[in-house]
Chains A and B, each alone.
Chain A
Amino acid sequence: MSPEAQEFLGTFVAESFYYWASVFMLLIHAGFLAYEGGASRTKNVLATMVKNLLTLASVGLSFFFFGWWVYNAFPFFPITGGILGPWTNPEQSKAIATAMPYVDASYPWSPALAPNTGDHITGVFFFAFALFAMTTASILSGALIERVKIGAYLVMSIVLGSFTWVVAAAWGWNPFGWMFTQLGYHDFGCAGVVHGVSGFFTLGVLMNLGPRIGKYDADGRPRPILPHNLPLTMVGLMLIFVGFYAFLAACLIFLPGYTGETTIYGTPMTLASIGVSTTLALAAGLVGAYISSKGDPFFTISGGLAGIITAGGGMDLYHPSIVIILAFIGAFLMPKVSIALEKRGIDDPVGACGVHAFCGFLGSAVVGIVAAGYPQGEGIASINPIGQIVGTLICTVLLGFIPGYATSWLLKKFNLLRVSPQEEIDGLDLSDLGAEGYPEYATLAFVDDATAQRGTSVPRTSIDLAPE
């Protein structure tokens, strides 16, 4: 094989790895779609799924227009260049000069994103990051089901998926990011950067959105609103698990010319250890949630995800025994957190706050203790508890909770956040989409209208029976 062919093989391996990892990441969305659809009631199933589906559109396009640029341009903000910038003046430092080509390649008009035989890598990284962004926004989707306006969700998905988490990633999940270089923040699997940001963003939104009608009784006690299709939710979570193997694999960096695998921080790691750790975190998470919830099926299967998130921050470094213990603890505590939030008036139908906010916070912060002392580069702080907790608070509070609360508060002020009570009672399938998810089934609305209209005509579908 000629040297040129060998060199291109290295490029092709890197290009193919991220391409297929990103394709498998799409299973996370298939899982979210199934999970949310199953968790909703029959009258909301279509609207729930369509809302989740539109995340791919809102975040995919906005990430192309500015999200990808934010990731590449914000690592130095606000440390260099002042508040108004420019934050990437190549004459200011050698590091900024090194980062400039990435900024130039991230504009929508950049030749690097279009077909270009001189650049096989930028586009495939855009693809991977866009999928990360969609995953982050999709976490918000399930918590808002059955009462949020689709437009409001799309606005918030763009704020979260193409801006706030991207800023967190630019600061704490980027070799140039100041949270990494100045504080020593280490978050291999994006426990804080993705899950902490999105979970706390969701919490802020839920505080303004309010619970679904009927969720609490007159005394404020929570009442169960049962999902309409439990098996669908279980299958959805299994798909999410598969997607998370790809998500974590895509956190590995292997570029043309590399002689080993590294994290995004440039520290050594192996893909094999991610396979071992993800499997063990999933297993131990299921155990923790099963015991803690006394066998509740929803909490048990969500425990797998809680375990992966709790171990995600330092999965590149943890010994398998630490992965098991951390995943068990995170998943064990997760149901308690979810129940405590529910008692305080937070109606989170899919438990996003317990799984993503709590476990993301824990998984990010605990790296500073469990992996303390790991060096991360010349002139860069080692992993330490203070840097880790500060970075975690920046992700969860500054870039998660505050933007989520502020965005939803603004939408609420203009009456753009929540559907009307009548639409909510009728169900969003008919209110928003004019169609039902199960038109052939004898739903309550179907039977009511059948009895009311009997004798006037012969209905063919439930739409005939229940016109708007």
Chain B
Amino acid sequence: MSSPFSNFKEFSDAKGPIYTFANNPTMIGFLLVVCLAIVVYFLYASYTIKQEVPAKTPAALSLLLVAGAASILGMEFVPQSHKQPETSRHQQSQHSTARNWQPLALLGMVGIGGTQLGRKRRSPRRKPLRRPR
């Protein structure tokens, strides 16, 4: 029994230690040694534990750059083929705004594509991330 008390009156009137094994210093000493061992192992393990996070390879980066450049060039080319000769000033303004905005969106798309590419490459080796709470 870890309780240092034999009856409730003794427990409720206690003016001192009420914790488990309060009457057994040997057990407390042993438990503290176990705790110390956990801490020491934690410090040791912190040098050995590594999550596998592979760096991007030059090939992946090159592919990303090529894909991004091709996408931007493609998007820049397509709007010109749709231009109408009789476009009003207002419509021209709209196209101009769209051209300024589209590369930004495409950069985002390229970034997402890069993430997907990296994920595919490392998926066989990487542990699935989990989100407990």
Chain A residues packing against B (C-beta within 8 Å):
32, 35-36, 39, 139, 142, 222-224, 226-227, 233, 236-237, 240, 266-269, 273, 284, 287, 290-291, 294-299, 302, 305-306, 314, 317-319, 321-322, 324-325, 328, 334-335, 338-339, 342, 348-352, 354-355, 370-378, 380, 382-383, 441-444, 446-447, 450-451, 454-455, 457-459
Contact = CB atoms under 8 A, between A and B. Distances in A.
A383 B3 contact: yes
B105 A450 contact: yes
B107 interface: yes
A295 B50 contact: yes
Given A319-B19, A442-B108, A447-B105, A371 B2 contact: yes
A227 B79 CA distance: 35
Contact of B32 (A284, A297, A321): A321
15 contacts: A39-B131, A291-B41, A291-B42, A295-B49, A318-B19, A335-B132, A349-B131, A351-B133, A374-B2, A374-B5, A375-B11, A442-B106, A443-B108, A454-B78, A454-B79
A302 B132 contact: yes
Given A325-B35, A442-B104, A375 B3 contact: yes
B34 A321 contact: yes
A351 B39 CA distance: 26
B57 interface: no
Contacts of A284: 35, 38
B18 interface: yes
A373 B41 contact: no
Contacts of B10: 375
B132 A351 contact: yes
Given A325-B35, A355-B133, A454-B79, A267 B11 contact: yes
- Per DSSP, chain B at the interface is helix
Contacts, number: 177
B1 A328 contact: no
A443 B104 CA distance: 11
A34 to B, nearest CB: 11
B88 interface: no
B97 to A, nearest CB: 5
A319 to B, nearest CB: 4
Contacts of A442: 104-109
A388 to B, nearest CB: 13
Nearest to A375: B8
A376 B133 contact: no
Contacts of A380: 8
B128 interface: yes
Contacts of A266: 12
Query: Top 4 nearest A-B pairs by Cβ distance?
Result: A351-B132, A442-B108, A373-B1, A321-B31
A35 B82 contact: no
B72 to A, nearest CB: 12
A417 B98 CA distance: 42
B98 A458 contact: yes
B28 to A, nearest CB: 6
B2 A372 contact: yes
Contacts of A373: 1-3, 5
Interface string B9-38: 011101000111110000010011011001
A268 B14 contact: yes
A342 B18 contact: no
A202 to B, nearest CB: 11
A338 B130 contact: yes
Contact of B20 (A32, A295, A299, A370): A370
Contacts of A295: 49-51
